[in-house]
């Protein structure tokens, strides 16, 4: 009887599991368990086998190994973010976490096209992926894909659905905005306005809520006239400054902006008005997009959504679900504040 396990069908001239077992001084079965992270082996024995495999440059037959485990060791990533501003940092961290567990990814871009999304899902299922990650260019709610892939682990990251059985990982927009407003208040600013994006975005509503909470906690008023909604653009930042500073003595001494593009436009408009940042007006943005924060003069203080942490958490959650764990609910991971010159503070980033 052939005692080679099904993950050791060698190519001509390739090292086999039997070679690894011989060098490590263990049986072929023990070597197989060590290579597949299975069985009850001592740490010393497992390390001995892995060291022998590395010495021999042994590479398991991935296809046979996956059949042996009834797993493909692949997952699908379904995104609607063709630009990649938010998806790329998430996917980079996610891939690192999955790679550590021998899992590869297939990435598909659906670009908000339901028919294209369905086709991608069918193709991923045809590849027998072990799980799915669903992400997007914004955190607004979307339709769940669970009916199409029932029984397959699915994690929504930077995206969420109305499904109590789904796991959704999101940045804490409200907490990040509260952090920004509170930071400006601690610096002695007393009239902190909020320039933000379109109100049909959930993130806009949450960031406004956090701005109000931060001012309330500092004992400062959050006037409706100090909260202006418009486009996610530098142009809107300039327009909003004109509106806020047209009222003379009621003008703000600080601006919390809903994204970094708006903040950069606001800085430019203030400079054109002869106002100094941060001496006359302190500014904090949101997203910590280095393209904007580093190009702004002075460099822009901004809220970081910690997208890498989101991606790592999504990878860890999916691995747990693939192993049989049951995870559900909405988790909002904390944001952090990256302090630069535009707010007038000195020192390292504040958590």
Per-residue model confidence as pLDDT tens digits over 36-71 = 665 677 888 888 988 888 888 876 654 444 444 467
Q: How far apart are CA 165 and CA 167, in angstroms?
A: 7
Mean pLDDT of the chain: 86
Average pLDDT of the residues in 313-330: 91
Q: Span 8-36, mean pLDDT?
A: 76
Q: Name the CATH superfamily, with its identifier, for domain 74-166+307-326.
A: Response regulator (3.40.50.2300)
Spell out the domain ranges in the chain.
17-69, 74-166+307-326, 173-306+338-343
CATH architecture of the region 173-306+338-343: 3-Layer(aba) Sandwich (3.40)
Categorize the per-residue pLDDT at 136 as very low, low, confident or very high, splitting at 50, 70 and 90.
Answer: confident
Confidence band for 82, pLDDT divided at 50, 70 and 90: low
Over 90: is that where the pLDDT of 174 sits?
yes
**Token pair in block for residue 95:** 């891939």
Q: Which residue has the tokens 């940045």?
A: 171
**What is the pLDDT confidence band of residue 332, given thresholds at 50, 70 and 90?**
very high
- With 80 as the cut, is the pLDDT of residue 157 above it? yes
Average pLDDT over residues 198-207: 95
Confirm whether 74-166+307-326 and 173-306+338-343 share one CATH topology: yes
Q: What is the DSSP string of 167-213?
A: EEEEE-HHHHHHHHHHHHHHTT---EEEEE--TTSHHHHHHHHHHHH
Confidence at residue 63, expressed as pLDDT on a 0 to 100 scale: 42
Mean pLDDT of 109-120: 84
Of the candidate CATH numbers 3.40.1440.60, 1.10.260.40, 1.10.3720.10, 1.10.10.10, the domain formed by 17-69 belongs to 1.10.260.40
Give the mean model confidence (pLDDT) for residues 95-120.
Answer: 87
pLDDT of 148 reads 54
């Amino acid at each position: 009887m052939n005692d080679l396990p099904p993950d050791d069908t060698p190519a001509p001239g390739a090292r086999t599991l039997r070679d690894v077992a011989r060098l490590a001084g263990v049986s072929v079965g023990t070597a197989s368990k060590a290579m597949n992270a299975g069985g009850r082996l001592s740490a010393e024995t497992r390390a001995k086998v892995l060291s022998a495999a590395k010495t021999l440059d042994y590479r398991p037959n991935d296809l046979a190994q996956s059949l042996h485990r009834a797993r493909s060791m692949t997952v699908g990533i379904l995104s609607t973010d063709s630009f990649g501003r938010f998806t790329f940092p998430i996917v980079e961290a996610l891939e690192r976490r999955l790679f550590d567990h021998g899992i590869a990814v297939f990435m598909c871009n659906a670009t908000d096209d339901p028919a294209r999304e369905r086709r991608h899902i069918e193709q991923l299922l045809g590849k027998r992926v072990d799980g799915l990650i669903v992400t997007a260019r914004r955190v607004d709610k979307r339709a769940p894909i669970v009916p199409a892939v029932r029984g397959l682990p699915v994690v929504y990251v930077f995206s969420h659905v109305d499904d109590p059985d789904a796991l959704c990982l999101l940045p804490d927009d409200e907490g990040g905005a509260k952090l920004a407003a509170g930071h400006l208040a601690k610096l002695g600013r007393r009239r902190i306005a909020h320039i933000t994006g379109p109100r049909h975005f959930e993130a806009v509503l949450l960031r406004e809520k956090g701005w109000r909470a931060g001012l309330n906690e500092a004992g400062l008023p959050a006037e409706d006239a100090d909260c202006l909604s418009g486009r996610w653009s530098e142009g809107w930042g300039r327009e909003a400054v004109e509106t806020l500073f047209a009222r003379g003595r009621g003008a703000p001494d600080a601006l919390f902006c809903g994204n970094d593009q708006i903040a950069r436009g606001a800085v430019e408009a203030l400079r054109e008005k002869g106002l100094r940042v941060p001496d006359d007006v302190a500014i904090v943005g949101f997203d910590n997009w280095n393209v904007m924060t580093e190009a702004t003069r002075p460099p822009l203080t901004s809220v970081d959504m910690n997208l890498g942490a989101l991606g790592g958490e999504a990878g860890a959650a999916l691995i747990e679900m693939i192993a049989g764990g049951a995870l559900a609910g909405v988790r909002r991971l904390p944001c952090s504040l990256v302090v630069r010159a535009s707010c007038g503070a000195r020192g390292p980033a504040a958590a």
